[in-house]
Structures are given as C-alpha cells and as structure tokens.
Structure 1
Amino acid sequence: MGKILELYQNTLDCPVRTVLDRIGDKWSMLAILILGEEETMRFNELQKSMKDISQKMLTVTLRKLESDGLVNRTIFPEIPPRVEYNLTERGRSLLPHIHGLSSWANENIVGIKESRKKVAN
C-alpha cells in the first residue's frame, strides 16, 4: 500500500480530511473567497456579502478560520471598537485550490445531478 493511501486511512492524522472538515462546511469557503476578493473587510460588510449567514455563525466561522491561521482578526482600539478581517498568507495560498475546486464543480454539476437522479429512482 502506498504511503499516501496509508496516510488517508488514518482518519485522525489525515491532513486532507482535517482540512476539508474545516473548510468544507457551509460557510468557510465562501468567507475565504470573499476575503480573497475584498482583501480586508469589517464584520458587518462580510456578513452582508454572505447574505443568509447569522451573526453567530459568522463569528464561529471566522474564529475557526482564525484558529487555523487562515484569517487575521485586527481590533482597533476605538469607540466603538473596529474589527477587520483579512486572509493570512496561508489563507491566500488556499485560494487557487478553492478556485480549482469551484471550476471543477461548475463543469461537473449537471452530470452529478443527473447521476443523483438515477440513483434516487
């Protein structure tokens, strides 16, 4: 068995599963893509860009991305406090891969939906 396959079979140590578990949720990739386009955004601007996300879910999403070193959170000591978010170098390095996955998904979604219909029937 190859080393890569062995690594993927250990679910606790698998880097791909660990990363996809974090960025594969409903909101993380969208937040990364928006921050990749806008560079720096305040919380409310980001929330408006993501439309259906609640304040609590955006907070949770940004904290997770920050804990993985993908997003920077900068607090400015003003009244009221101003908080800005931007991608770290690690976060920016993820963008081409997300764009590639997005392209692949757009190219294949029709076939995927057709396959799902066949299996469902």
Structure 2
Amino acid sequence: MSGKWKWVILWLLSRDNVKRYGEIKKDLDHITHKMLSQQLKDLESNLLINRKEYPQIPPKVEYSITEKGKTLIPILELMAQWGDKNHSDKN
C-alpha cells in the first residue's frame, strides 16, 4: 500500500460508510483530482473499496469500503494511537 492518501481514504470511508467523489475531494483539500482518481483506482483494484456508478446525468459515483478494506482499520487505529503517544517526543 504505497501512497500517503490511500490510508486516509480508507479511514474516511470506514467512518462514513459511503462517500461520493466530491465529498472525498472536499475532505482532502490538498489532493489533486489526478492523484485522488489514481488512489481510488488503486484501492478498487486491490479490492479495498467498492465503486458504484449510477447511470444518470450528471454522473453519480459512490465509494465504500469492502470487508477486505475493513481488515486494515485496526492497523490504522493502532498507528493513530502510536502517533498520539509519540507526537510530543519530536520536541
């Protein structure tokens, strides 16, 4: 799992269950459209997220975390706990 945004995207989807592309982009305001699109494609190809496309105009696409993706959430929680405990050590 390379790329700094994939972990954040998984975390967002684990909290909100379903998000549209624009909602993810809004939550990650420093990510480019190209980077977000690539990260979502990579996560989908690794079966960590689902992409559901609705045939309408304008196009509507929703993303959700898969059961396989959910298995990574305990790791993310441990990383967050470690970061909280060790954040003050860098001073």
Runs of 4+ in 1 over 3 A off after TM superposition: none
In the alignment, what sits opposite 1:37? 15
- Deviation, 1:79, is 1.3
Q: How many residues align?
A: 91
Normalised by the size of structure 2, how large is the TM-score? 0.92
Q: Can you list the C-alpha shifts for 1:27-46, whole angstroms capped at 9, x where unaligned?
A: 11110111111110110011
Please give the secondary structure, in 2, of the residue aligned with 1:27.
Answer: helix
Candidates 40, 45, 50, aligned match of 1:72? 50
**Unmatched runs of 5 consecutive residues or more in structure 1:** 1-21, 115-121
Structure with more contact order per residue of length (Cα contacts < 8 Å, sep ≥ 6):
2
Q: TM-score, normalised by structure 1?
A: 0.71
Distance 2:48 2:63 in 1: 10
**The residue matched to 1:86 in structure 2 has which SS?**
strand
**% identical aligned pairs:** 35
The structure whose Rg is larger is 1
Structure that is richer in strand per residue = 2
Q: What is the RMSD computed on CA atoms of the aligned residues?
A: 1.2
